[in-house]
Amino acid sequence: MYDKLVRSYNKELSYNGVEGERIARRLHAISRIGRTKQEGSRRLAFTPEETEAKEMVWEWMEKAGLQVRKDGAGNIIGRFEGNSSQTIISGSHLDSVPNGGHFDGPLGVLAALEVAQAWKDTGFKPEKSYEVVIFTDEEGARFRSGFTGSQAMTGLWEQEVKEKLTDENGKTFSQVLQENGLSFDTMRSAERDFRSIEAFIEVHIEQGKRLEKEDLPVGIVQGIAGPCWLNVRFHGTAGHAGNTPMNDRRDALVAASQFVQAVEELPPLISRSSVATVGKMEVSPNGVNVIPGEVNLTVDLRDIHEGNRDKLKEAVLLLAGKIADTRGVTVTTEEKINVTPVQVNRDMQQRAAQAMYDTLKQEPFFLPSGAGHDAMVMGQKTDIAMLFTRSKDGVSHTPEEWSSLDDCTQTVHVLKKLIEDLCRN
């Protein structure tokens, strides 16, 4: 990965303490942890792989002169103490989806860290305090319920929801916390007093094609769509595939199939920014010659406007009930996650846009984020900004995910300028 990153790198982009080759080395080092057979990343939350990645970045934080600690949710926080207790925070996550890419999350962590490293190397001292954070369990791949670290830091989590979570091996969320030296009590202790936190800025790959179409390395995010995840379970009757007449079946999979196809037609009826995805399905008993008796599936609903997203949710629930009635099966639904969409206020957008223009001499490009990020949770407690880095072909959550080192380094320069502006009294 390192060789591919630096092969076409423009070394003139390494200046003011920011070193593209260092970013490449660190991206490569993280990518080797949890590497899959398909050359992707597998660092699920609260696993040895996520822990190993955090510990490695912890060492880099210390080398950058940061005071590092772990909070009660497993978040890693490196702090540069300024002349003021007022604090600017930047960072992202290191956990991944089961066979994901190498930029989603790590780029945001390393961009925030590169700012601190550049300050140390050039002797720059910000007036306000600065923190680099690695959030725990952003992706939610293990428990189908993410943003654990940022929710703990903001206090925006519900213990009764977490208590119901289990992973694919049947381990409860509470058990996994204990295995990692954590608990619900320690999670509560991770909540911060946001009166001293002025802003949170997150760098992330775009995971879309807008910047590529505009031929721009960096974009300014206007708002972040809040995901709502629904578990939908159709209950029918399992039976012999040969001895059960077609007119005497309660096939859960046929009902689920009709539901999946119909869900796709709902978002355009709500708004242009609404989307819905059925991304996971489990069929039981899952036998070649057995009529499916139960199907459990997930629906991912998103919109940058909460009202539209909630309208879409109600439409999906109504659809599930109608199809169940028509097919003679029953259906149960459970909301697994519901995160409020967050708008980036105009002042923060303009500050980020000015930093982009000052650094790259390019007119800023504004775009929405359809994906959820820790910034969305942090944005419920403080001002936020987000910078997107161009994604090749818009591909993400796969081993083919890629952003050029030129684009990554230019994003770091914009981030550095923005943070330095925010750190002035």
Provide the annotated binding site for Zn(2+).
93, 104, 139, 204, 397
Decide: helix, strand or coil at residue 333: strand
Q: Which residues, 6 or more positions from 374, have their beta carbon under 8 angstroms from its beta carbon?
A: 91, 92, 93, 135, 138, 147, 149, 150, 202
**DSSP readout, 235-280?**
E---EETTTS-GGG---HHHHHHHHHHHHTTSHHHH-TT-EEEEEE
Decide: helix, strand or coil at residue 39: coil
**In angstroms, rounded to a whole number, what is the distance separating the alpha carbons of residues 280 and 158?**
24
Only one residue has tokens 């601190």, namely 116
Record the tokens describing residue 405, joined without a space. 């080192």
- E-only strand ranges, 50-175: 67-70, 76-80, 84-93, 128-135
**In angstroms, rounded to a whole number, what is the distance separating the alpha carbons of residues 42 and 226?**
24
Residues making up the binding site: 93, 104, 139, 204, 397
DSSP state for residue 382 in the 8-state scheme? S
**Residue 150: count of CB within 10 angstroms of its CB:** 33
**In angstroms, rounded to a whole number, what is the distance separating the alpha carbons of residues 226 and 335?**
14
Angle between helices 346-360 and 405-422 (to 10 degrees): 120
User: How crowded is the C-beta side of 322, counted as CA atoms within 13 Å?
Assistant: 10
DSSP state for residue 7 in the 8-state scheme? H
Element (H, E) at 354: helix 346-360
**Furthest-apart CA atoms within the chain: distance in Å:** 79
